[in-house]
Structure 1
Amino acid sequence: MPASSSPRPIRWGMLGTGMIARLVAADIPLVPGAEIAAIGSRRQSTADSFAAEFDVPVAHDSYEAVVHDDNVDLVFIATPHSRHAADARLAIEAGKAVLCEKAFTVNATEARKMAAAARKAGVFLMEAMWTRFHPTMSRIRRMVKDGDLGSISSVVADISTLRPTDPNDRLFARDLAGGTLLDLGVYPIALAFDLFGPPDDVMSTAQMGPTEVDEQSAAIFSYDNGPQFIWHASFRADAGRGLTIAGAKGRLRNDRDWWKGRPFTWIQENGERSTVGTTPEGNGYQFEIAHVCNCLRDGRTESPVMPLDESIAIMETMDAMRAAWGLTYPNDDVRG
């Protein structure tokens, strides 16, 4: 009998039932060999509702039950930022692989401890920077690194939305590490690291709201003998959500939702225009899902595309920005 060509199933256990968990759960069926084995919530009724909607066989009323479920290979952490470190540690100590939503943690100290714990336990750990795995963004990365645009001088990125201040919304909750930096700003920061590495100089600013979190933030990342990377994040207005990468031979432009892997327009120096990339099926998380599943099948404990040291370096950069703004969270020490 011929050997089966089907990949070894990777069984996902999910912590949290919010928007991100729902988007990822909807895309898991798009990936051969990926399946949701369990969902965990702090309320049984919420877990049951999620399980019914996404056809999950087991609904647990605690996160502890998910990480100790023998039918779970990988734990996906989709809880608020303030819980990431504790929830990841819970899964790592249970010997489970972990995919943790961005921002990876609240600060670099937590990130370093998480990485050290996973490395000591010999289990997989990765920050869920899903944008990096889109075929469109992979093509953009190759074009930049291969010099198709010539020497890059400028990158301008916006990630913004209009959300009225709501103290009951986690995005505005200081005790849950809310604010634009960790929720939105992490996307252009991760893109800057992906394309150019850590910046040589950072100038940043933020505007705080009544709940004492950053409702707007912006920065200029400067690279010696390289580009300026300018980004803006906001809850106060929709400023277009575009991205432009400009070089000596032309520019790449995305006019809407660039971090979701939408197509770019390549405008060459001679005025010729062409489209780079296609709109992905589903919500666009399937590429990250497939990458993580393949890492586990290959026995990897870190992703070569989103390595732990890079997640730590990104957190260090955000720590320095928050320190300059005077923004801290309860039980947070950005000096660590």
Structure 2
Amino acid sequence: MDTSNKKIRWGIIGLGNIANKFATDLATISNAELYAVASRNQEKANTFAKKHNAKQAYANYEALANDSNIDAVYIATPHTFHKENTILCLQKGIAVLCEKPFAMNSNEVEEMIATAKANKTLLMEALWTYFLPHYQYVLNLLQQKTYGDIKTLHADFGFLRPFDTNSRLFNKSLGGGSLLDIGIYPIFASLSTLGIPDIKEAKATFFENGADASCDMVFSYPKNVKAYLKSSLLEDLPTQAIFKCEKATIKINTQFHAPSTVSIITNESEEIIDFNYNTIGYNFETIHFNNLLLEGKTESDIMTFEFSKNLISTLDEVSHLIGLNY
């Protein structure tokens, strides 16, 4: 691939709310353009394409995957379709950035990764938080032990939404419920800073249709370090990640998974660091992905296959602990 003046032509499969955010931020990236979009509804595809200046609008995903002009595809369909949509594109040699959770379980993720390797094609889980400057800043502080070792982590994500059987968020058959949709973020915070826990404990409440309404988790690490994690669709939670270290508390403020501020709290003072975000935040993972593609890479050195496999296997274990079966 000649990378000198290369503009990466993107496609989007699945045109819901998150796809709109992704497309909005894609327009801020100089070496990328939205080339094609696909929905199972032609009118929806046309409307989305017009809004975001895409050249092509398809009424099925296969048509997009068969468009040889596309370099990369962002998959934003419901969780249960991630595997089949990803494999469809990988088998056409199209690089795939697939929204989190990567798939429904470890077996599906293993199949996606195997397909990417067999086709020597770039694949990455789109867990945008990993690439946000404030999160990278906190990771660096923790890795450098600037304030000593982590003693505890408290991370939560919760909001109140009226139960709606027509909403994907509550539809168990589409992977709906608190764990896969938002519980993945507190779990991500724990795995990305403390690694794989020795012991996992979890309990949950459920909606009448079997989707999980809330999930409380405790991950135990060596030296009595613990991570207290929670997801909920029943209440508004602070949605913060608070790392209590030996010499200070590092707090990622409200909406820790999205562009946010960071507070450094010591006995003497509290410093708030503002990262002056001017996008929704999806551009950071996309720029990283574009660079990987231009460099001929087939795996991210940040969101690695190993990390994605650890993340989905942890979600599998928590699901087992709470008795959640999809």
Q: TM-score range by the shorter chain?
A: over 0.9
What is the 5 A alignment of 1:96-175? Answer: 96-175=94-173
One-letter amino acid of the structure 2 residue matched with residue 215 of structure 1: A
2:239 matches 1:275: no
One-letter amino acid of the structure 2 residue matched with residue 231 of structure 1: L
In 2, Cα distance between equivalents of 1:11 and 1:23: 17
In 2, Cα distance between equivalents of 1:79 and 1:289: 17
What displacement does 1:273 show?
Answer: 2.3
One-letter amino acid of the structure 1 residue matched with residue 286 of structure 2: I
In 2, Cα distance between equivalents of 1:279 and 1:156: 25
Partner of 2:293: 296
What displacement does 1:7 show?
Answer: 4.9
What displacement does 1:71 show?
Answer: 1.2
> In 2 relative to 1, CA 116–194 (structure 1 residues): closer, same or farther, beyond 3 Å?
same
Partner of 2:324: 327
| Consecutive unaligned residues in structure 1, runs of 5 or more | 330-336
Tell me the TM-score normalized by structure 2.
Answer: 0.97
What is the 5 A alignment of 1:30-41? Answer: 30-41=28-39
> In 2 relative to 1, CA 213–276 (structure 1 residues): closer, same or farther, beyond 3 Å?
same
Query: Which of the residues 4, 8, 11 maps onto 1:10?
Result: 8
What displacement does 1:275 show?
Answer: 2.3
Partner of 1:183: 181
Partner of 2:193: 195
Contact 1:161/1:235, CA 8 A, preserved across alignment: yes
In 1, Cα distance between equivalents of 2:282 and 2:224: 31
Moved more, 191-200 or 291-300: 191-200
One-letter amino acid of the structure 2 residue matched with residue 288 of structure 1: E
Partner of 1:287: 284
In 1, Cα distance between equivalents of 2:3 and 2:16: 34
> In 2 relative to 1, CA 203–122 (structure 1 residues): closer, same or farther, beyond 3 Å?
same
Question: What fraction of aligned residue pairs are identical, expressed as a percent?
Answer: 34
What is the 5 A alignment of 1:224-263? Answer: 224-225=222-223, 227-263=225-261
In 1, Cα distance between equivalents of 2:72 and 2:144: 35
What displacement does 1:203 show?
Answer: 0.6
> In 2 relative to 1, CA 34–250 (structure 1 residues): closer, same or farther, beyond 3 Å?
same
In 2, Cα distance between equivalents of 1:45 and 1:126: 29
In 2, Cα distance between equivalents of 1:287 and 1:221: 29
In 1, Cα distance between equivalents of 2:279 and 2:317: 36
Query: Which of the residues 57, 60, 63 maps onto 2:58?
Result: 60
Secondary structure at the counterpart of residue 202 of structure 1: strand
After superposition, the C-alpha distances for 1:106-136 in whole angstroms (9 at most, x for unaligned) are: 0001001111111111000000010000111
One-letter amino acid of the structure 2 residue matched with residue 227 of structure 1: V
In 1, Cα distance between equivalents of 2:130 and 2:25: 16
Contact 1:40/1:59, CA 8 A, preserved across alignment: yes
Tell me the TM-score normalized by structure 1.
Answer: 0.94
Moved more, 160-169 or 320-329: 320-329
In 1, Cα distance between equivalents of 2:274 and 2:4: 28
What displacement does 1:266 show?
Answer: 0.5
What displacement does 1:205 show?
Answer: 1.0
Count of aligned pairs:
325
What displacement does 1:227 show?
Answer: 2.5
Contact 2:153/2:228, CA 8 A, preserved across alignment: yes
What displacement does 1:276 show?
Answer: 2.9
What displacement does 1:261 show?
Answer: 2.6
Contact 1:27/1:285, CA 8 A, preserved across alignment: yes
In 1, Cα distance between equivalents of 2:263 and 2:5: 36
Q: Which structure 1 residue ranges, 4+ long, deviate > 4 Å from structure 2?
A: 4-7
In 2, Cα distance between equivalents of 1:224 and 1:23: 39
Query: Which of the residues 300, 306, 311 maps onto 1:314?
Result: 311
Contact 1:149/1:246, CA 8 A, preserved across alignment: no
What displacement does 1:6 show?
Answer: 6.7
Secondary structure at the counterpart of residue 222 of structure 2: coil
Contact 2:25/2:279, CA 8 A, preserved across alignment: yes
Partner of 2:92: 94
In 1, Cα distance between equivalents of 2:276 and 2:210: 37
Contact 1:98/1:124, CA 8 A, preserved across alignment: yes
In 1, Cα distance between equivalents of 2:259 and 2:8: 25
